[in-house]
Amino acid sequence: MSIARRGMLALVGALGIGAVAASAPGVAQAWEPQKPVEFVIMAGQGGGADKMARLMQTVIEKNGWSSKPLTPINKPGGSGAEALVHLKTKGGSDPDHTIMVTLNSFYTTPLRQPGLGVDIATFTPIARMAEDTFLLWVHKDSGITNIEEFVVAAKEAGNDWVMAGTGKLQEDQLLTDFLNAAYGLNMKYVPYKGGGKVAKQLAGQHANSTVNNPSEQEGFYASGDTVPLAAFTPDRLELFPDAPTFRELGQDFVYFMQRSVVGAPGMSDEAAAYYRELFQKVYESEDWQAYRKKKSLYGDFLSDQALMDYWMTEREIHKAMLSEMGAL
């Protein structure tokens, strides 16, 4: 009897120690979400940011890395203004359960709409998952195969040369302005909603050129309808070995689209550590690495202070570009 009881006690003791032991490594990061995590997407359904966000969510769910589900919510309103304000508001009520997938409007929208009262320096840096690249594209029927021919044709057309791009005073227009200034062109910028529509304008020859991401043009490129002329990257892209970089062409210009995850302002350190670890796992997963390779994405994993420093640098760069355009 007593032996049995002792045995029981030992068992209970062991269980107790076991429980402590199991939770012990967790002490450093004991935090776990208590309810579903709101996964805000700063863009509409079906766009580049949305696709990536859903891929991240899928990787997390497939591997069972989160005890509570991530629920994606698209908030594309006002070039991301709505999403930014939402995150800021959540910072006051529930900062630990709200994260957001963000892009470059993260810098430009608060700069252009100071009335929102959003300061991205107060947000919680979680992870930079990638940087997407840009190339200059034309239609194959234009007969243009390199940047010199492009400049000649665009100069001749003057203001009738149509450059289609996503949104007004956003990434694509920044690049168009750069090209206009660098080569003395006067291209007409026509904004559309979404990179897919822009790609279609070029494929249907309703526009003369675009500055699409590779993922937006890859279908038309594969069929030979569109041609990349040059890349806004430091090195040539593996997918498009024949397209030189603007650096090679003597223009020191590099531009990326960030794909990052940001937390609400005021997020607790424990929660931030949890999400950083979670997204590092996503970053290192086979699926994500395969996707990066296939879409020739740049940008290594950045987190914490390094990510905040990156944001601050980028914000200054965008501020300078926007004021040059007279948009501030």
Partner 1 sequence: MEILQHLSDGFLIALQPLNLGVVILGVVVGLFIGAMPGLGSVNGVAILLPMTFLVPPTAAIMFLAAIYYGAMYGGAISSIMLGIPGASTAVATTFDGRPLAIKGQADKALTAAALASFFGGTLSIMLFTGFAPALATIALDFGDPEIFALMLLAFATFIGLSGDDIPKTIFSICIGLVFSAVGLDIMSGEPRLIFFDIIGFMHGINFLVLAIGIYGIGEMLWTIEITRGESSMSKAVITVERILVNLKELLKTWKTGVMSSVLGFFVGILPAAGATPGSLMAYGVAKMTSRNPEDFGKGEIAGVVAPEAANNAASTGSMLPMLTLGIPGSPTTAILLGGMVIWGLVPGPRLFIDETEFVWGLIASLYAANFFAVVINILFIPLFLWMLKMPFTVLAPIIFVLSLVGGYAPTQDMHDVWLMLMFGVGGYLMRKLDYPLAPAVLAIVLGPIAEPALRQSLLIANGDASVFVTRPIAGPITIVALVLLVLPLLKLIRDRVWKRKLL
Tell me if 266 contacts partner 1 by CB under 8 A.
Answer: no
Is there binding between residue 281 and partner 1 (CB under 8 A)?
no
CA 36, 283, 41, 326 torsion: positive or negative? Answer: positive
CA distance 9 to 15: 10
Let me know: does 177 contact 325? Beta carbons within 8 Å.
yes
Of the ranges 13-21, 56-64, 141-149, 306-314, which one interacts with partner 1 (CB under 8 A)?
56-64
Our finding on whether 278 is near partner 1 (CB under 8 A) is no
Q: Which residues contact 20 (CB under 8 A, 6 or more apart)?
A: none
| Cβ–Cβ < 8 Å for 180, 187 | yes
Closest CB 71 distance from partner 1, rounded Å: 9
Applying CB under 8 A, which part among 19-27, 185-193, 230-238, 242-250 lies near partner 1? 185-193
DSSP result, 125-177: EEEEEEEE--EEEEEGGG---SHHHHHHHHHHHGGG-EEEEESTTSHHHHHHH
Number of residues that bind partner 1 (CB under 8 A): 54
Choose one: 127-135, 166-174, 267-275, 309-317; the region binding partner 1 (CB under 8 A): 166-174
Q: Which of residues 186-225 bind partner 1 (CB under 8 A)?
A: 188, 190-193, 196-197, 199-201, 203-204, 206, 215, 218-220, 222-223, 225
**Residues 170, 105: contact at Cβ < 8 Å?**
yes
Q: Return the bridge partners of 37, or none.
A: 70
Which residues, 6+ apart, have CB-to-CB distance to 166 below 8 Å? 172, 191, 192, 193, 194, 195, 198
> Of 33, 65, 78, 253, which one interacts with partner 1 (CB under 8 A)?
78
- The residues in 82-121 that bind partner 1, with binding defined as CB under 8 A, are 82, 85-86, 112-113, 115
Tokens 């998952």 -> residue: 129
Task: Provide, rounded to whole angstroms, the least separation between the CB of residue 322 and partner 1.
Answer: 11
| 259: contact with partner 1 by CB under 8 A | no
Is the distance from CB of 121 to CB of 307 less than 8 angstroms? no
Report the residue from 37, 81, 272, 297 that binds partner 1 according to the rule CB under 8 A: 81
Least Å distance, CB 19 to partner 1, is: 32
Q: How far is CA 273 from the centre of its chain?
A: 20
Q: Report the interface residues with partner 1, using CB under 8 A.
A: 45-47, 50-51, 54-55, 57-58, 61-62, 72-73, 75-79, 81-82, 85-86, 112-113, 115, 159-160, 162, 167-170, 188, 190-193, 196-197, 199-201, 203-204, 206, 215, 218-220, 222-223, 225, 291, 294
